[in-house]
C-alpha cells in the first residue's frame, strides 16, 4: 500500500533558490530540490491499484488551464515539538487559479472516485525544512524576519502529479506515479465526440 498525494511541482531552479536561504543551524533538515512541491490533496495510506485507477480516471477530466505561480514570503508551522519552515505564494491570478484547481480536484475525487475531501482549510505553501526542537528560536526568528518578502522566479504549472512517498534512511523519497496535463491557456476542452 502506498502513501499518496496529489501535488503541483516546483521546478528545480526555483526549489534550489528557496532552499539556499535556509538557516544552517544544527537540527534544520532541509528538503532536497526533488522533494519540494505544493500538495493539493493528501490521499493517505492504503490505496490499492484499483483506487489509483479511479484517481487516474477522475483527474483526466480536470479542465483548469495552465497558469503561473510564484513563491512569496515565509512562515512556520509548529509540528509537535519542532517546526516546519515554508514559503508562501504570491497573491494574484496564479494563486486564485491554484485555489480553483484545489477545489476542482477535490470535487473530481469526491464525485468520480469516492474520496472524502480533507477537513482542513487549504493553506497553499511549499515546505522547505523540518526543524528539531533543539534549533534555537533566535535562528528561526532571524530567518523569518530576513525572508518575509522572499520571492522566487515565477514558474508555469502545466500538470498535476500523483506522488508516492516512501520513507528511507535519508528521509522521504517522492516517486512520480501519474501526471495529468492541464489545459493550454485559452483553449476550450475538446467536445465529446460521442459514440
Report field, pTM of the whole predicted structure over 0.75:
yes
d(C-alpha 127, C-alpha 7), whole Å: 12
Going from N- to C-terminal start, the domains of the chain cover 2-181
- 59 neighbors 180 (Cβ within 8 angstroms): yes
pLDDT by residue (tens digit) across 85-126? 999 999 999 999 999 999 999 988 888 667 776 777 899 999
Angle at the Cα of 59 from the Cα atoms of 13 and 126, rounded to 5 degrees: 30
Label residue 47 by pLDDT band (50, 70, 90).
low
Label residue 170 by pLDDT band (50, 70, 90).
low
123: region left, alpha or beta (phi > 0 left; psi from -120 to 50 alpha): beta
- 159 neighbors 180 (Cβ within 8 angstroms): yes
Nearest one of 98, 103, 150, 163 to 124, comparing CA atoms = 98
Tracing cell 485555489 back to the chain, one arrives at: 99
Residues, the chain: 195
Q: Which CATH class is domain 2-181?
A: alpha beta
Residue 23 neighbours by CB distance under 10 Å: 21
φ, ψ at 25 (rounded to 5°): -60, 145
Average pLDDT over every residue of 116-141: 90
Label residue 171 by pLDDT band (50, 70, 90).
low
pLDDT by residue (tens digit) across 174-183? 888 899 999 8
On the question of pLDDT at 14 being above 80, the answer is yes
Nearest one of 109, 114, 76 to 6, comparing CA atoms = 109
pLDDT cut 70: percent of the chain above it: 88
Amino acid at each position: 500500500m502506498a502513501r499518496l498525494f496529489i501535488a503541483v511541482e516546483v521546478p528545480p531552479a526555483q526549489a534550489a533558490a528557496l532552499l539556499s536561504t535556509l538557516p544552517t543551524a544544527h537540527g534544520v533538515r532541509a528538503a532536497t530540490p526533488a522533494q519540494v512541491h505544493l500538495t493539493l490533496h493528501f490521499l493517505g495510506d492504503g490505496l490499492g491499484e484499483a483506487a489509483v485507477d479511479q484517481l487516474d480516471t477522475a483527474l483526466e477530466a480536470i479542465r483548469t488551464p495552465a497558469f503561473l505561480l510564484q513563491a512569496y514570503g515565509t512562515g512556520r508551522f509548529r509540528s509537535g515539538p519542532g517546526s516546519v519552515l515554508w514559503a508562501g505564494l504570491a497573491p494574484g491570478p496564479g494563486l486564485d487559479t491554484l485555489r480553483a484547481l484545489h477545489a476542482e480536484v477535490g470535487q473530481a475525487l469526491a464525485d468520480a472516485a469516492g474520496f472524502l475531501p480533507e477537513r482542513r482549510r487549504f493553506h497553499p505553501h511549499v515546505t522547505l525544512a523540518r526543524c528539531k526542537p533543539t534549533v534555537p528560536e533566535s535562528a528561526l526568528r532571524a530567518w523569518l524576519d530576513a525572508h518575509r518578502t522572499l520571492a522566487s522566479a515565477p514558474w508555469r504549472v502545466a500538470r498535476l502529479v500523483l506522488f508516492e512517498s516512501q520513507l528511507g534512511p535519508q528521509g522521504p523519497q517522492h516517486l512520480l506515479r501519474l501526471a495529468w496535463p492541464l489545459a493550454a491557456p485559452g483553449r476550450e476542452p475538446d467536445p465529446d465526440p460521442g459514440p
